Chains A and B, each alone.
Chain A
């Protein structure tokens, strides 16, 4: 378990959020994450996140599919069980192109989705802390992580000054756990005191 203390500021307009992100980063606060109801273009750049290389993974999976199809079919039709189809060559590449193409696409798509779910830790029964229930509706929720040096009060004031409509402090699990969204299991009931501000 990874229980941490967070200062949470909720913005209701992405036009306010962008300068706020800049200010907060400039002031040296550590932004844990920003939760948004839709992909806000440029926000990843503003947060200093590097580009994802998911598409490279997709390319590699695609090549795997292509190689699998070609090697499998050519092994079957020229080695394992040779058959005479209308006197045509056993190694008849043009006729295999459709299946080679389909397997390229299939491997690439399935592989990428699985990788995406793994990287983002998405699966049925996976639960994560919800900082604000409206983060999937109409609020842009900036979560700042408190370190031992953070002055919580000051951080809250800073976020409010940057335009946050709601500011609060939350102690929460930073990662994921197996759980149900209809039940609140307090994983850390007795631990809240141990966290130092």
Chain B
């Protein structure tokens, strides 16, 4: 093989600055070995406080029942299922970055994949809470598991999308966790081998499973990552497809549409990338990782956001068109009387503005590379995507087939909101702990692209860049 590692200058460097392999380790492991900053503590305690409020809200929910929430017989799914779909969607970006971009050999994923995968896992944990606690009698949640039982044995309904969801979400969580942790092993070994304190040696020694860096192990590790990526790719598409089946297989106008699977998946990736941006922009700043999560990374993610945002926009318009063209009066009424107008019209237009109109600004390169604007947009997109799910759920339910059960207005109780805030607490508590105790950037993966995509190494290839094709070929093939 040729030992010249060449990458064209057309591609931006993925690692800025003058770096050696050792410097990469130092930069990334630094936050694990240093004491947390005051900012970290403040953030961590706020998250814990939110989490505790969530726990209290759930305590109320379990003790007094679902009546603690403002759900009724007409709007039976409100904030909780909205939050469920929103959190599952957030998770999708992590798998997209770690799996799909690995298959497409996108080098820039190495800077953000570790944190994005962690985000996926935490988001799925948060998502899972909502259907579980929404069951009301949560101590019977294990009834969804198919095991030989003394109730017949009575099995769950395998034809139900709600049970598909159980399988999809739990598989998604397990596979994401395995993928993430197997990728972490080498980096945990790096922390272990340079640890100065006994405790750190002990804990990272246990956590790294005795990883040694043997060539054979790396070969298997590469094969494992590639196959797990291959498995996760259809998996991530299936998860939000199945979530969309929860709606699409029903006979509720506005839900019963075949466009839902692709539309949900695109929306999930869209909101997930927005959340990755929110987290990455803070992480790179607080942890001083601007050399690894560069403006190029941020721009690449903004491109995904403008693409998926446009797909989502297309889906919204298609829905409206089909509601008219399909000539189903119920469908027509839901869209044209109760969604774009009516009591919840404001939420529809909020969704349209946040998801379809404002992301179009990312067609401008200047804005894609503007950190402040990107941060602002990442929040806007997530607000918009929350409202998308709210619009789908509530605006379809509040006008029933039966006018006598029409519900005029649904507003959440403080405990419904508290549960949602509690999952924010859970998510950020996990993320803060992760960013303190784990390498937030995949150290080994950065090292493997350093000599092709590192800024200082690319500069050394400048003379190759100016050669003609024939000269280039002759030169690079001398080095066999």
Contact, CB under 8 Å: A58 / B217? no
Contact, CB under 8 Å: B20 / A109? no
Known contacts A38-B445, A43-B215, A182-B199; decide if A124 and B158 are in contact (CB<8 Å): no
Verify if A176 is at the interface (C-beta below 8 Å from B): yes
Contact, CB under 8 Å: A44 / B193? no
Within 8 A of B (CB), among A135-153: 135-138, 141
Per-residue CB proximity of B188-204 to A under 8 Å, as 1/0? Answer: 01101111001101101
Contact, CB under 8 Å: A102 / B212? no
Residue of A nearest to B198 (CB): A182
Complex interface: chain A residues within 8 A of B221 (CB) = 39, 116, 120
Within 8 A of B (CB), among A97-149: 98-99, 101-103, 105-106, 108-110, 112-113, 116-117, 119-128, 130, 133-138, 141
Distance to closest chain B CB from A19 (angstroms): 9
Known contacts A18-B3, A136-B193; decide if A33 and B214 are in contact (CB<8 Å): yes
Complex interface: chain B residues within 8 A of A92 (CB) = 159
Complex interface: chain B residues within 8 A of A135 (CB) = 193, 212-213
Per-residue CB proximity of A11-44 to B under 8 Å, as 1/0? Answer: 0000100100000000000000111111111111
Cβ contact of B21, chosen from A18, A52, A137, cutoff 8 A: A137
Contact, CB under 8 Å: A124 / B209? yes
C-alpha gap A167/B194 in the complex (Å): 20
Complex interface: chain B residues within 8 A of A123 (CB) = 209-210
Within 8 A of A (CB), among B100-130: none
Residue of B nearest to A65 (CB): B171
Stretch from A1-9, A75-83, A156-164, A188-196 that touches the partner: A75-83
Complex interface: chain A residues within 8 A of B357 (CB) = none
Complex interface: chain A residues within 8 A of B201 (CB) = 180-182
Contact, CB under 8 Å: A180 / B153? no
Complex interface: chain A residues within 8 A of B163 (CB) = 99
Contact, CB under 8 Å: B1 / A120? no
C-alpha gap A105/B209 in the complex (Å): 24
Contact, CB under 8 Å: B220 / A182? no
Contact, CB under 8 Å: A112 / B224? yes
Contact, CB under 8 Å: B219 / A49? yes
Contact, CB under 8 Å: A39 / B193? no
Distance to closest chain B CB from A96 (angstroms): 6
Cβ contact of A33, chosen from B20, B154, B215, cutoff 8 A: B215
Residue of A nearest to B224 (CB): A116
Contact, CB under 8 Å: B215 / A36? yes
Verify if A197 is at the interface (C-beta below 8 Å from B): no
Within 8 A of A (CB), among B223-251: 223-224, 226-228, 231-232, 234-235, 238, 242, 245
Residue of A nearest to B1 (CB): A42
Complex interface: chain B residues within 8 A of A130 (CB) = 193, 212
Give the size range of A's interface with the partner.
35 or more
Distance to closest chain A CB from B304 (angstroms): 24
Complex interface: chain B residues within 8 A of A38 (CB) = 186, 218, 444-445, 447-448
C-alpha gap A35/B211 in the complex (Å): 10
Contact, CB under 8 Å: B205 / A127? yes
Known contacts A33-B214, A37-B444, A108-B231; decide if A126 and B209 are in contact (CB<8 Å): yes
Contact, CB under 8 Å: B215 / A122? no
Complex interface: chain B residues within 8 A of A43 (CB) = 215, 218
Distance to closest chain A CB from B315 (angstroms): 21
Contact, CB under 8 Å: B220 / A54? yes
Give the size range of B's interface with the partner.
35 or more
Contact, CB under 8 Å: B231 / A138? no
Distance to closest chain B CB from A111 (angstroms): 10
Verify if B175 is at the interface (C-beta below 8 Å from A): yes
C-alpha gap A132/B158 in the complex (Å): 54
Contact, CB under 8 Å: A81 / B158? no
Complex interface: chain A residues within 8 A of B146 (CB) = 72, 76
Central interface residue in B154, B189, B218, B222, by most chain A CB within 10 Å: B218
Distance to closest chain B CB from A87 (angstroms): 12
Complex interface: chain A residues within 8 A of B21 (CB) = 37, 137-138
Known contacts A37-B447, A137-B21, A138-B21; decide if A47 and B159 are in contact (CB<8 Å): no
C-alpha gap A81/B149 in the complex (Å): 12
C-alpha gap A135/B214 in the complex (Å): 9
Residue of A nearest to B148 (CB): A80
Verify if B358 is at the interface (C-beta below 8 Å from A): no
C-alpha gap A114/B222 in the complex (Å): 15
Complex interface: chain A residues within 8 A of B186 (CB) = 37-38, 136
Verify if A169 is at the interface (C-beta below 8 Å from B): no
Contact, CB under 8 Å: B215 / A99? no
Contact, CB under 8 Å: B3 / A15? yes
C-alpha gap A72/B222 in the complex (Å): 33
Verify if B164 is at the interface (C-beta below 8 Å from A): yes
Cβ contact of B182, chosen from A49, A51, A113, A141, cutoff 8 A: A113
Complex interface: chain B residues within 8 A of A186 (CB) = none
Contact, CB under 8 Å: B216 / A49? yes
C-alpha gap A76/B25 in the complex (Å): 53
Contact, CB under 8 Å: B215 / A44? yes
Contact, CB under 8 Å: A80 / B192? no
Known contacts A99-B163, A116-B182; decide if A44 and B216 are in contact (CB<8 Å): yes
Contact, CB under 8 Å: A138 / B228? no
Central interface residue in B175, B204, B213, by most chain A CB within 10 Å: B213
Complex interface: chain B residues within 8 A of A136 (CB) = 186, 189-190, 192-194, 211, 213
Contact, CB under 8 Å: B238 / A98? yes
Contact, CB under 8 Å: B190 / A137? yes
Contact, CB under 8 Å: B154 / A120? no
C-alpha gap A103/B201 in the complex (Å): 37
C-alpha gap A34/B218 in the complex (Å): 10
Q: Can you list 30 pairs linking A and B with CB atoms under 8 Å apart?
A: A34-B215, A38-B186, A41-B448, A43-B215, A54-B224, A80-B153, A81-B153, A81-B155, A83-B157, A85-B159, A95-B159, A96-B159, A102-B164, A105-B234, A108-B227, A113-B182, A121-B210, A122-B209, A122-B211, A122-B217, A127-B205, A133-B194, A135-B213, A136-B211, A137-B193, A137-B194, A138-B20, A181-B195, A181-B202, A181-B204
Besides A36-B218, A38-B218, A182-B201, 5 other A-B contacts (C-beta < 8 A): A37-B186, A54-B227, A102-B167, A113-B178, A138-B22
